[in-house]
Amino acid sequence: GGAGMAAVREVEIDPEGTFKYILVRLQRPGGGEQRDVVRGTKAAEFHNHIFEKVNPEMEKLGYECKCLGGGKIDHNSKDKKIRVFGLSTGYGKADHSVTVEILKKVYTDYEITWSDDKK
């Protein structure tokens, strides 16, 4: 089935600043392969704005999307640090430890931390 999940980038976040993010599970209809991806951007005022953009993109590729929760990301590219925190009112709190593991695959030389702090 085409390029499969490898074609989907695990992380798409803004290069700098503090912004909302969501953790999304992609799955082939009827089970089978699945993958969790991180999406975040300052352009989104609310968490569901991010999901509303990701969902149609992934449906085109043949995936069902489920939002596993959200939070915020503080991305400091100068110091190579990312902090994951907060929660989404609509989707609940993502498992930030999972988010961190995904981020580490992409930002290999960063210091990446998470907490349940709201700010």
- Is 66 marked as a binding-site residue? no
Is the pLDDT at 98 greater than 80? The verdict is yes
Strands 111-114 and 81-85, sheet pairing: parallel
Q: Total domain count for the chain? A: 1
Q: Beta partners for 23?
A: 38, 69
pLDDT the model gives residue 26? 95
List the domain range (segments joined by +) for residue 16. Answer: 5-115
Write out pLDDT tens, residues 21-50. Answer: 999 999 988 877 899 999 999 999 999 999
pTM over 0.85: yes
96 in catalytic set: no
CATH code, 14: 3.50.20.20
Q: Which of 90, 53, 96, 49 has the alpha carbon at shortest distance from 72?
A: 96
In contact, 27 and 53? CB cutoff 8 Å: no
